[in-house]
Amino acid sequence: MTIKRELRQAADAAEDVTNSRTVELLARAGFAVSGILHLLVGTIAIRLATGGGGSADVSGAVAELASQPAGPILLWSSFAACAALSLWQASDAIFDFNHLPTKEKAGKKLVAAAQALVFAGLALTLASFATGTGSSADNQQSATDLTVTVIRAPGGVALLVLVGAGVAITGVVYAIRGMMKSFEKHLALPSSGAARTGVTALGMTGYVAKGVVLLLTGLLIVIATVRAHPEESTGLDGGLKALRDQPFGIYVLAGVGAGLICYGLYMVVRARLARM
């Protein structure tokens, strides 16, 4: 009983820390960092559509951030914000939703855990660039190398197909969430009608665009795996560049880039309006 009580006290203390005002403010900043990176990816996508170069993925966006005059400060502060948001989401996955029915509770905890992993990965990417060990080319090569390793493992092909299908399905979910405006339940929407309309429009456009990007990325993973060409599994950047090469692809790519910019603006707004 003593051990059980001490564990409970430790858990309560951990929950208090993760729900502190300081961590909340940093976690809100994590949404803003995500928004800025989506803005940069969208800008790079439009650049690709107009004949320019760049890596239209997270590593490319972080590289753009690192190239700014205050690059190291931006990278380390962004790392802290994303790490705090990952911690906040992990706290939700562990401590929250316990009052809900079992099935709904499990679903919400799983989503929170997945979000915690996403922002933890983003924090690690930012840290690698901040310490000078990361680059967009290295990250793409690492993704290809990982794909090769998984394909050669027993059951690796099936696993990668499932991963690709999961990413594609997530894209569909994002698009539906945008069209159904279900993202609004996570926000404390402003009372002003014009501001509310603007936030909703950004969310709808952004979620649909992100859904399209995730769908393309997932399909690319599946196709590369089935064809046994792991070098084609180049993630988000490869998906967008493959889109550019299709008929009317440059126009669609420019539209997707504009949509990602809208999603980035929405995430910046979410930093202020999110229900934490």
CA angle 257, 44, 134 (to 5 degrees): 130
pLDDT of 111 > 50? The answer is yes
3 occurs within a structural domain: no
96 occurs within a structural domain: yes
Greater model confidence, 201 or 8: 201
Q: What pLDDT, in 10s, does the model give residues 145-170?
A: 666 676 667 777 788 788 888 889 99
Task: Name the band, by pLDDT with cuts 50, 70 and 90, for residue 91.
Answer: confident
Nearest to 269 by CA among 212, 200, 207, 209: 200
Sign, CA torsion 94/95/97/101:
positive
Q: What is the pLDDT, as a whole number, of residue 90?
A: 87
Find residue 187's DSSP bridge partners. Answer: 274
15 occurs within a structural domain: yes
Q: What is the Cα 270 distance to its own chain's centre?
A: 14
Greater model confidence, 222 or 198: 198
Task: Name the band, by pLDDT with cuts 50, 70 and 90, for residue 180.
Answer: very high
CA gyration radius for the chain? 20
Lowest-pLDDT choice from 71-75, 102-106, 250-254: 102-106
4 occurs within a structural domain: no
Count CB-CB contacts under 10 A for residue 90.
18
pLDDT of 221 > 90? The answer is no
Q: What is the pLDDT, as a whole number, of residue 36?
A: 93
59 occurs within a structural domain: yes
Greater model confidence, 26 or 21: 26
SS3 of 135, please? coil
215 occurs within a structural domain: yes
Average pLDDT along the chain: 81
Q: What is the pLDDT, as a whole number, of residue 7?
A: 47
Backbone angles phi, psi at 187, to 5 degrees: -120, 150
Q: What is the pLDDT, as a whole number, of residue 13?
A: 53
Lowest-pLDDT choice from 11-15, 94-98, 187-191, 204-208: 11-15
Q: What pLDDT, in 10s, does the model give residues 120-130?
A: 989 998 998 88
Burial of residue 15 (CB within 10 Å: 0-12, 13-18, 19+) is: middle
CA atoms within 13 A on the CB side of 1: 0
Greater model confidence, 56 or 34: 34
Q: What is the pLDDT, as a whole number, of residue 178?
A: 92
Q: In whole angstroms, how far apart are CA 38 and each of 25, 32, 33, 90, 209?
A: 20, 10, 9, 22, 11
pLDDT of 175 > 90? The answer is yes
pLDDT of 58 > 50? The answer is yes
Contacts of 13 (CB under 8 A, 6+ apart): none
1 occurs within a structural domain: no
Q: What is the pLDDT, as a whole number, of residue 18?
A: 61
Number of structural domains the chain divides into: 1
CB 116 within 8 A of CB 90: yes
Looking at the chain, how many residues does it have?
A: 276
Q: Which domain holds residue 263?
A: 10-273
Sign, CA torsion 123/127/133/137:
positive
Q: What is the pLDDT, as a whole number, of residue 14?
A: 54
In DSSP notation, 96-131 reads S-TTS-HHHHHHHHHHHHHHHHHHHHHHHHHHHHHT
45 occurs within a structural domain: yes
